[in-house]
Structure formats: C-alpha cells, structure tokens
Structure 1
C-alpha cells in the first residue's frame, strides 16, 4: 500500500506551477482591469490545482496499465501504478475525484460569472487530459500534439479564462503573455520527456522528444525559454519594468538552459524540471504584479 509521501510524490508537485502560474497571471490581469474578485480568484486556483493533480494521477494510471512506467524503465519520480504501490482502480479513483472537485468548482465559477461557454471548454480540457495517455489511441504518444494541447489549455485558456470570468474583456497584452506562459508549460513537458527518452523508445511512446532526438530536444527547450522571455517583455506596459523583468528572467533561465545544453540526463533533469517550474511560477507572478499595479 502506498504511503502518504508516495501519494504526494505521485501528485508531482514540481509540475503544479504550470497550472497555478497562468491563473495567478489572470488574477493580476483582472486586478489591472479593476474587476478582480476574491471568490472567483479562489475558485479559479482550486480548479487549476485539482485539475493538474487529476491529470498527474490519470497519467500514472494510464501509463502504468500500459507498462510505460514499469519500475525497471522509470527514470523520473516513482509512479504508483507502474511500481505496484497502489491498485490501478485506486489511482483511477483518485484521478476522477480530483477531476470531479475541479469540475464542481469550475461550474460554480462559470455560473457565478455568467460565462456558460467556458463550461464546454472545461469539458474539452478534461477530455484532453484523459486522452493524453488514456484510451486506445492516446495523443501523448504522438509527436507535437501534446505540446499544442499544453500550450492551449495551460497557456491561453488558463490565463484568458481567469480574466474573462472576472472582467469580461481580453486586452491584447493578455494574449501575448498567455502565449509566453504556454511555452514555459511546453518547456516543462519537454524536460520531462527528454529525461524519459530511453524508456519511451522502449515502450513505443513516440513523444516529440523521441521524434526530435536528444540534440534536437535540447535546442527546442532553449527556444521555448527565450521565446517565452521575449513575449513576457512585450506584455508590460512600462518600458523600464519590462527591461528589469527581461534582465532578471534572462539570468534565471540560464541555469536550466546551461544544464540542458551541457547534456544533463536522467535524474539531473529532475532538478531542471523543478527549476523550470519555479521559473514558470516567477514569470506568472511578475507579470501579474506588473499588470495589477500598472494596468492593462
């Protein structure tokens, strides 16, 4: 039976900034527009947090029953299903419980805001989360498709949805920044898949990292970081603030970038994943603060 610590590890806390950062950015946008609501912001954060945990548990379940995460192949954090620490049905129940709670919070948020179309988008997000590794033909095993979904749901939808339910308007700068944080979420996914290339090749999981190969994946990772940096700079209203943000982020992204370009592999990339998660969170908070104080 899995321990509490193992369940926490399976929730993959290093990936949670990918879901929380865009919502924080959206809250900052709502503040900048003078339309922020504490209650709506809290619901949006709960939706993002439990949705991401549900995604992580459902991936644990789906990859585990396929044998993709077999213990002898696994390089990253231990999985519950693949390592035999928890029954597959138990992991599936945990995933569905997280989805259900996120769904309840999401429906409440949409009804409160009168934005019923977002309920449909939330259903699409849930289906995309499940079929990432679930079903007979998971798109997470196809190169490039997962990246498009991550960019759309953890970038555009998360930021813009949070702003829309509070302000009912979407200024141009919000599209620029949401694209940037979407690319950082893609960078998180890429680091994870770069680490798992050997095991994924054996299991037939044809991710974009497997398709590009080791060298190509490392160059794409650098592109994600610096493209996100440029988009972040462009999203600020005041030039000197944009300059300070750009310089700070340029220094910060050098740490994971150099590790990846120098050939970091295996468990070393777990630390890199954590660093990219922290950068994603810092990126979202910095832009949120800028928008909140300087407006959009």
Structure 2
C-alpha cells in the first residue's frame, strides 16, 4: 500500500497553475514508491540481469498508485470535513486551490487505470499471480481513507503502509526480475517497511489533536504524543540496527552501512517533535521523517550497487 499523507490546508486561495497539480501529487511522499522498487531491483542484480522495461513499468505503476492514493486521501478528507481553511500542510487542492472534488476523484481513478495497464505488461512478462497481489495493494490504497471503515481511522495505518509499500513492493520488484523470492529481499525489506510506517506515524503525531476530535483512533492517539515520539525514535533506531545485524551476519555487503549517514536526519526528525504541540511547529519534523526514508533508501541502494559493481 502506498504511503498516504493527509491533506491539510493553509489559506483559501484559488489559483490554477502547475504547482497546484504538483502539490496534489504530494511529491514528498513519492519516494515511498521509488525507494522500495529500487531496493528490490538492485537486490535482483546478484541473481539475474536487470530487465530495464520491467523496472521502469514497476516504478511508474508504483508512482501512479501512490499519487492516486494521495488523491483519494484528498477527496475523502474533504468529504468528511477534515480539511478546513485553518488546517496546516501541503494538501488542500480542493479547499485552497478550488479544484473540483469530482476532478480529484476522476484523476485518482485514472491513475489507478494507468497502473493497471502497466500491471498487465508486468504480469505478461512475469506471473499473472501478481495481478491478484497488485489488486490487493490498490484496494489497500483506496481503503486507507475510503470505504465505511477507513484504515486511517484505526491504529493499523502504519502497519498496513509498511507491509504493502515496503515488504510487498520490494518482493514484487525482486520477483519480476528473478522469477523467485529469496530470504535476502525479505530481510532487507524490514527496515524500509519500518521507515515507510514512520512517515505515517509522523503525520499522525502532527495531526493528533485534530484526529482525536474527528473520532479517529490512530496509533499516535492510543499511545499519546510523548509515547508516539518515543516510538518514532525507536523505529529509526531499529532500522539502523537491522542493517548492522544483516552486515554482521554477512547477509548483505558492508557497503550498505552507508545508510548510517542518514542518522542526522533521523535525529532531526525525532527531536523536531519534542515539546511541540501545534501542527505548524511539527511540519519540519514531519518533512525530516520523509527525508530520512529517502536518504536511508538511497544510501542502501548505493551500497548494494557498489557491492555488485566491484564484484
């Protein structure tokens, strides 16, 4: 499941240019699609030569699903009255920029349709069983904020996002290149899954007060703000320790320890939430959480690539 970030609004402003449509995509969330596909593909280098068209199709399909999930999020938050002119954040194409709700919904379904067409190509060149898995992933993206009981209203948002966007996408990306699944991509997917979930947790920490008023039961609400921040920090620590343990056990190359260069960003993200209660004050910390996922994933890919390159 692609990772969704709830839409929040600043000042009402009806403006139509490319930046409005760009914000609608929630570009800071798209790395949660790019990184897992890249990790799964690079891990496959040790098994088979990379099939570039399959990699590109998988990458573009994942980006479209992520963007569509963000649009469903935008639409249903608006329909349920969660987006107001007083809210804070990157979203708000409907309330702030005046884009029609029907247009947002139509774009979301159109993006899903494009992803499905790319999925047909992927299945035709790998396995049609992936059609079932892909459909489940898309359904999870829709039901994050759609349906009678949205996942976003429960404590399972972080778990669902990490499982579908970390674990599942990495394994699919590996499988379409190799035709099999091994232990290594399963183990490497764990820290990526944790960091994808961390993006959702950071979002829910920021929106804790508003979510509580709207009746949501997110993990951040159940834990309370302080414990949720501690959990976020623990997720960062677990991700780094997991990579270290894989290196120590000789499962992956020592080059992957490059991910430790992303520790300052993880520290910035965690520290940025401490002592803050207003959403606008927590925006930099939320951004730093997404950047941690990006830096960690990119450095992991670089480390794996260097290992295969020098072999």
State TM-score, norm by structure 2: 0.87
Cα deviation for residue 271 of structure 1 reads 2.4
Cα deviation for residue 240 of structure 1 reads 4.2
CA contact (8 A) 2:253 2:304 kept: no
What residue is the counterpart of 1:86 in the other structure?
99
What residue is the counterpart of 2:80 in the other structure?
66
- Are 1:228 and 2:228 counterparts? no
| Inter-partner Cα distance in structure 2 for 1:190 and 1:138 | 16
Q: 1:43 is matched with which residue: 54, 57, 61?
A: 57
Greater mean alpha carbon deviation, residues 190-199 or residues 154-163: 190-199
Cα deviation for residue 164 of structure 1 reads 0.3
What residue is the counterpart of 2:150 in the other structure?
138
Structure 2: gaps spanning 5 or more residues: 1-13
What residue is the counterpart of 2:130 in the other structure?
118
Label 1:2 to 1:119 Cα distance change in 2 as closer, same or farther (>3 A): farther
- Are 1:97 and 2:116 counterparts? no
What residue is the counterpart of 1:250 in the other structure?
263
| Inter-partner Cα distance in structure 2 for 1:177 and 1:233 | 11
- Are 1:150 and 2:164 counterparts? no
What residue is the counterpart of 1:291 in the other structure?
304
What residue is the counterpart of 2:7 in the other structure?
none
| Inter-partner Cα distance in structure 2 for 1:118 and 1:137 | 26
- Are 1:12 and 2:26 counterparts? yes
Matches within 5 A, 1:271-286: 271-286=284-299
What residue is the counterpart of 1:55 in the other structure?
69
Q: Deviations over 1:231-275 (max 9, x none)?
A: 233344466435x42542334422212222353742243222332
| Inter-partner Cα distance in structure 2 for 1:89 and 1:147 | 28
CA contact (8 A) 1:16 1:52 kept: yes
| Inter-partner Cα distance in structure 2 for 1:27 and 1:84 | 38
Query: What SS is found at the alignment partner of 1:249?
Result: helix
RMSD of aligned Cα (Å): 2.1
Q: Deviations over 1:130-162 (max 9, x none)?
A: 11111122121011x212211111111111100
| Inter-partner Cα distance in structure 2 for 1:235 and 1:285 | 17
Greater mean alpha carbon deviation, residues 26-35 or residues 127-136: 26-35
Structure 1: gaps spanning 5 or more residues: none
Cα deviation for residue 2 of structure 1 reads 5.1
Greater mean alpha carbon deviation, residues 191-200 or residues 278-287: 278-287
Label 1:5 to 1:99 Cα distance change in 2 as closer, same or farther (>3 A): same
| Inter-partner Cα distance in structure 1 for 2:49 and 2:83 | 45
| Inter-partner Cα distance in structure 2 for 1:83 and 1:292 | 43
State TM-score, norm by structure 1: 0.91
- Are 1:163 and 2:170 counterparts? no
How many residues are matched? 292
Label 1:100 to 1:2 Cα distance change in 2 as closer, same or farther (>3 A): farther
What residue is the counterpart of 1:207 in the other structure?
218
CA contact (8 A) 2:265 2:291 kept: no
| Inter-partner Cα distance in structure 2 for 1:246 and 1:7 | 33
